[in-house]
Amino acid sequence: MKRFAVVLFVVLAVLLLSVVMAEAKYRIAFVPKLIGIPYFNAMEEGGRKAAQDLDVEFIYTGPVTADVAKQIEIIDNLITQGVDAIAVAPNDPAAITPVLKKAKEKGILVMTSDTDGAQDVRDLFVNQALQNEIGYTVMDELAKAMNYEGEFAIVSCGPTAWNLNIWIAYELERLAQYPKMKLVTIRYAEEDVQMAINVMLDLINAFPNLKGVIGQCSTSAPGVAEAIEQAGKSGQIVATGLSVPSMMAKYVKSGTVKSFVLWNPIDLGYLTVWAAKYLLDGNQFEDGKEYEVPGIETKPKYIAKDKMLVLGPPKVFDASNIDQYMFF
């Protein structure tokens, strides 16, 4: 009887261990610049789809405004929870470094996605497209819409956002190819559509010869387009930039926006979770290799010197294809 009890105990212990091991899943967190805007909603959708496909737990959490201190606090809480991986789109690349270093010291896989930061700390940057390709494409689309001449402005979002600033740098590099175009100012509107509207209305008053504008992020691009229409300047001032089809379609169809640039943020969210699991499983990315990732439409490529996995080339949206992408 005693032997039977011991055997029964062992069997039950093994079964319990099996259940615990079966239920144990990687916990992969993504902290965007802020929650509640369509762009990051799309990344969340992709992340959740990947979590379902890959049998991991996906934690999506971030500040409700582009608040650097709050973003750091959220990451610190995730460290306390003992998650397996943290991916973050930093509002301030420098400010985020100490807390990401703390995460890495705790054995957590540290990644950036959408925008980079803490390059000496993070294990991987999941990049939407090469920075120069994004900047060049945006400038080319603006130049074409402006007939390659005239004054233009840039309305960006957070002044410390690494991705926005490097795209601007490449836009200005590309500007050398368009000698009849002139940048008159760069302004900032945080991650707020209404603020972008207000900034653009001010620019229209300040620069009467303004012919074009770049909205540098997903909230400023529709904001500047809306301001142009409110001011009755559609047809006189053209807008382009980077945003999601669901926010830009009405301006494309009205003609205020001839084209704009982005990628598929759903795929970017999916790739972020997929890449985290790939590394947590003990795999390593190979330099120059393109990866088949079921669930996305591109073949991401790894660039070892930057520890960067690139989703693919930027995509131009216009009247010919906008209706195909209204789901994000």
The confidence band for 300, taking pLDDT boundaries of 50, 70 and 90, is very high
- Taking each helix axis from N to C end, the angle separating 193-206 and 220-230, rounded to the nearest 10 degrees, works out to 50
> Which tens digit of pLDDT belongs to each residue from 42-81?
999 999 999 999 999 999 999 999 999 999 999 999 999 9
Q: What was the pLDDT predicted at 8?
A: 43
H/E element, 182: strand 181-188
Q: What was the pLDDT predicted at 214?
A: 98
The confidence band for 22, taking pLDDT boundaries of 50, 70 and 90, is very low
Asked if residues 246 and 23 have their Cβ atoms less than 8 Å apart, the reply is no
CA angle 278-112-33, nearest 5°? 130
Give the rounded percent of residues in the chain with a pLDDT score beyond 90.
91
Query: How many Cα atoms occupy the beta-carbon half-sphere of 123 within 13 Å?
Result: 23
Q: Is the pLDDT of residue 125 over 80?
A: yes
H/E element, 181: strand 181-188
**Looking at the DSSP assignment, which residues form a beta bridge with residue 310?**
127, 301
Buried b (16+ CB within 10 A) or exposed e, 273-307: bbbbbbbeeeeebeeeeebebebbebebbbeeeeb
CA angle 311-75-46, nearest 5°? 30
Q: What residues have CB less than 8 Å from 2, skipping those under 6 apart?
A: none
Average pLDDT over residues 20-32: 79
* pTM confidence score: 0.88
Residue 50's Cβ-count burial label (10 Å; 0-12, 13-18, 19+) is buried
> Which tens digit of pLDDT belongs to each residue from 139-176?
999 999 999 999 999 999 999 999 999 999 999 999 99
Average pLDDT over residues 115-138: 97
Q: Is the pLDDT of residue 212 over 80?
A: yes
The DSSP output letter for 304 is G
Backbone angles phi, psi at 181, to 5 degrees: -105, 145
Q: CB 169: neighbour CB atoms within 10 A?
A: 13
